[in-house]
Amino acid sequence: MISFQPTVDEIAFRNLARNFAKEKLRPLARDFEEKRQVSDEISRGINELGFSALELPADWDGLELPLISQVQIVEALSAGDLGGVQGFRGPGEAASLFRLVPAHPLFNKIKKTTREKTWPAVAFLNGNKPNHSSSLRLELQSSGGGYLLNGTSRPLRMAKYAGYLLVGLKDTTGEQLLIWLEDHGQWRLLEGDYRLGLLASGFSKIQFHDTVITDEQVLAKGHEAKVLLSQMLTRTRVLEAAKEVGAMEAALDHAAVYTAQRKAFGQEIAKFQGVSFTLADMSIKTQAARHLVWQSALKVDDRDPEGEAASQSALQFAHQSLRFVTDCAVQLLGGHGYVQDFPVEKWMRDAQAQIIFTEGESELLLDHGERLIVGEERGGLHDFIQNVAASNPG
Amino acid sequence: MISFKMSPHQIQVKEVVHWFAENEMRPISLASDQHKRVPDEWLENINQLGIQLSTSSFGDSDSTSEESDQTEKRKKSERQGNRLAVIAAEELGWGDPAIALTLPGPGLGGPPVQASGTPEQKRRFMSIFSRDEPPRWGAYALTEPEAGSDVSGLKTTAVKTNGGYILNGQKVFITNGARASWVVVFATVDQKSGRAGHRAFVVEKGTPGFSCTRLADKMGLRASETAELLLEDCFVPEENLLGGESYYEEKSAGHTGFRVAMQTFDNTRPIIAAMATGIARAAFEYTLDFVQHEYPKHGRSFHTASTILAKAQQEIDASRLLTWEAAWKADMGKPNAKEAAMCKSFSGTISLGVCSRCLEVLGPDGVEGHLVEKLYRDAKIFDIFEGTNQIQHLIIARHLYEPLGVRI
């Protein structure tokens, strides 16, 4: 039955997240940005309240919540400050891989530390993303019993603080690999001058120089790696899109309050249709984006074969709407929106950074559209992933 | 629990209505557009099958007052009439929106009668729609030449007289206005009192002084009848005042014809939004099929078509979900004016956009004998009727600013 009513538990968890976002995250947002990291106190709070464990499997002491519940909580948190949420240290995107193959032996160490509540950071390098810069090339060459990895990555979120690195990359023959690295000595940080947004997220490039990747560090290869990566990205897209809806909600609320109070020409500027209609558009886009996120979450939870396409669609719409809504918020505040006395300029910068560091709008649309026209036999993927999980030696 | 899965009953309604749309509406769609009317014989056959357009005919709040009373007794959580109505409306929009609006039944006149009519009025006006009778229609007449979006500017007057009211005025853009057995007409008993003076009357066909002066030619929806109505010293008995005198005398309850009109929109806007979604889906599916069979699977054209179709599917999904939310809220008995305006605004915009971009994909071939060209012409009105997109924005903005103490 079609229903938009969250469960009692979801409402309770969402309210908890909302309060934390309002009372803890929002007031410290500028501080996080200035210090380029989220404070330990906030990180502890996040972990104690269980927000870091939403996606983690139950036998990792995680909450293993369905995505439809997670997206509501993540949205509420991000409405506090997207930059702060993206600066939380923890498993990040890799949590979705842990969820898919919780018993993989390569994860024994991080599983232990996670259960001990020490929450190490994991960075994710998706080497399959289109790369237009010749200086940012990665090469994975088969060598002896393993591989040699060379090159420089694009800037990665959490790279600066990462104790672990998850790498999705094709080797020189085109075979897909998923690699798990837990030795800092295998990579070098190339820190940069980042000013746009999400500045507490620990961005850094990662450089490899004849890094030896042993077969033991390979999580999966070939079709298995491709499927795992695809399933992981499907889940992370939904969660990233939910964060973007939270940021939209923040910008919408702030713009509404400001324009209801600000007077010009003798009346509240809300009474000018150029203002109020813009706010209405912001509201429509935010709500539509939220529904697409919910739809994709439900499809992924239900193992619907269309889940992957739905996640691409939800993230693309969220990107587009986030850009629109945060830009409109700055515009509605006028000069006050541009200066740092108000948070909307930060949210606009964070929004643009968020869009850049996740998958781009064009590639999401193109991939989705090609599936529509050509079609793809994706029915077996879910069975396959279950087989991978079930047959894993760990 | 949040769920976007249809119940077995909802699936059944969708499938039955889709079958009808595909096998009964589509075959006469382009010809009806060309001849600017739906064939009478087709309408008679359809009526005999018991198929009518009623904003409540697919739902729980069915036509008789006894059934409505029963419905009232049900728990709110069991109601799904609005959701069923939008599911069905999307399929009808997919089939042909002009034919859908021409299906026999009370049409947009149904909701005000159901919402504000006395039990006697509901029985009298709603019982005429029967498969055992010739096809009949109801209609809804609010818009005037000088008062469309600004309902408070109504100029049609209703002057109290012995046993009833004398109505004078002109109504325009009235769907099925000429063929309707009765029309819900909005008029003012006192122009100075603004909205408080508004009343809703049921004016029956053949009433002296009540006539159709013109059928409008339009960009699209050509098979749908759009009438101009004239009321010249038209006597309407007081038993045709919707809700009766006492309904409006309870001033504390705030009943006015304006409120009747606005409540109607809260119910009908999601249905209009669903039809717009159906139009967009029809254009999308037609174009997807065309590209799958006619386009090369590589190169620039293929990539352009890919992104256009992906965007179209995304917007259709978003439009449907916004519409479902508005309908769900209505089923739950929650205020849904903001959501109804949001889905109406969004669907009207994307429907036209999707049709336009699909035409671009089809290229010049698309304008000759292809369904999408007609859908494009049909879609534009969904950005206008039942409240223009600008009015929807105004309603949404009012609801956003209301909690902040600003009245716009």
Note the pLDDT tens digit of each residue in A331-379: 999 999 999 999 999 999 999 999 999 998 999 999 999 999 998 644 3
Task: Give contacts of A298 with chain B, Cβ < 8 Å.
Answer: 2-5
- Bridge partners (DSSP) of residue B188 are B157, B198
Note the pLDDT tens digit of each residue in A218-252: 999 999 999 999 999 999 999 999 999 999 999 99
Equal CATH topology for B8-134 and B139-253: no
b/e burial code for range A121-160 (CB count within 10 A of at least 16 → b): bbbbbbbeeeeeeeeeebebeeeeebbbbebbbbbbbbbb
Q: Which of B83, B390, B401 sits opposite A260 (nearest CB)?
A: B401
Note the pLDDT tens digit of each residue in A272-303: 999 999 999 999 999 999 999 999 999 999 99
Nearest C-alpha in A relative to B394: A277
B406 contacts A374? CB cut-off 8 A: no
CA dist B199 and B186 (Å) reads: 6
Q: Which of A261, A302, A372 sits opposite B309 (nearest CB)?
A: A372
Architecture of domain B8-134: Orthogonal Bundle (1.10)
A316 contacts B346? CB cut-off 8 A: no
Task: Choose the weakest-confidence range: A245-249, B78-82, B171-175, B354-358.
Answer: B78-82
CA dist B159 and B143 (Å) reads: 19
Location of structure tokens 């620990």: A202
Task: Choose the weakest-confidence range: A215-219, A307-311, B38-42, B145-149.
Answer: B145-149
Q: Is A262 on the interface with B (CB under 8 A)?
A: no
Is the confidence at residue B79, as pLDDT, over 50?
yes
pLDDT interval class at B257 (50, 70, 90): low
Note the pLDDT tens digit of each residue in B266-315: 888 999 999 999 999 999 999 999 999 988 888 999 999 999 999 999 99
Q: Which of A256, A261, A368 sits opposite B310 (nearest CB)?
A: A368
Nearest to A45 by CA among A79, A17, A13, A14: A17
Is the confidence at residue B66, as pLDDT, over 70?
no
Grouping H, G, I as helix, E, B as strand and the rest as coil, residue A207 is strand
Min Cα distance B303 → chain A (Å) is: 7
**Catalytic choice (B78, B91, B386, B402):** B386
Task: Give contacts of B4 with chain A, Cβ < 8 Å.
Answer: 2, 294-295, 298
pLDDT under 50: residue ranges of chain A: 377-394
**Of B136 and B364, which is predicted with more confidence?**
B136
Is the confidence at residue B75, as pLDDT, over 80?
no
Task: Give contacts of A304 with chain B, Cβ < 8 Å.
Answer: none
**Looking at residue A392, what is its pLDDT?**
45
> pLDDT over 90 for what percent of chain B?
73
**Looking at residue B153, what is its pLDDT?**
83
A276 contacts B394? CB cut-off 8 A: yes
Ordered structural domains, chain A, with CATH: 8-90 (1.10.540.10), 122-220 (2.40.110.10), 224-391 (1.20.140.10)
Min Cα distance B125 → chain A (Å) is: 32
**Looking at residue B255, what is its pLDDT?**
61
CA dist A385 and A168 (Å) reads: 17
Task: Give contacts of A312 with chain B, Cβ < 8 Å.
Answer: 310
Cβ neighbour number for residue B102 with a 10 Å cutoff: 26
Residues 292-351 of A with CB under 8 A from B: 292, 294-295, 298, 302, 310, 312-313, 316-317
How many Cβ pairs closer than 8 A exist between chain A and B? 158
Q: Is A3 on the interface with B (CB under 8 A)?
A: yes
Sequence spans of domains, chain B: 8-134, 139-253, 257-404
Nearest to A205 by CA among A140, A156, A151: A156
**Looking at residue B62, what is its pLDDT?**
41
Min Cα distance A14 → chain B (Å) is: 14
Mutation choice for A interface testing from B4, B84, B292, B334 by most A CBs within 10 A? B4
Does B41 qualify as catalytic in the annotation?
no
**Looking at residue B64, what is its pLDDT?**
45
Which value does ipTM take for this structure? Answer: 0.93
Dig out the tokens for A158 from the structure: 């959490």
CA dist A28 and A8 (Å) reads: 30
Q: Report in angstroms the alpha-carbon separations of B242 from B198, B237, B298, B359.
A: 11, 11, 62, 45
Note the pLDDT tens digit of each residue in A243-254: 999 999 999 999
Residue type at position B345: S
Beta strands B182-188 and B164-175, pairing class: unpaired
CATH number of B257-404: 1.20.140.10
**Looking at residue A145, what is its pLDDT?**
86
Q: Which of A4, A268, A373 sits opposite B288 (nearest CB)?
A: A373
Architecture of domain B139-253: Beta Barrel (2.40)
Q: Is A356 on the interface with B (CB under 8 A)?
A: no
Mean pLDDT computed over B45-69: 59
A368 contacts B313? CB cut-off 8 A: yes
What Rg do the C-alpha atoms of chain A give, in angstroms? 21
**Looking at residue B146, what is its pLDDT?**
86
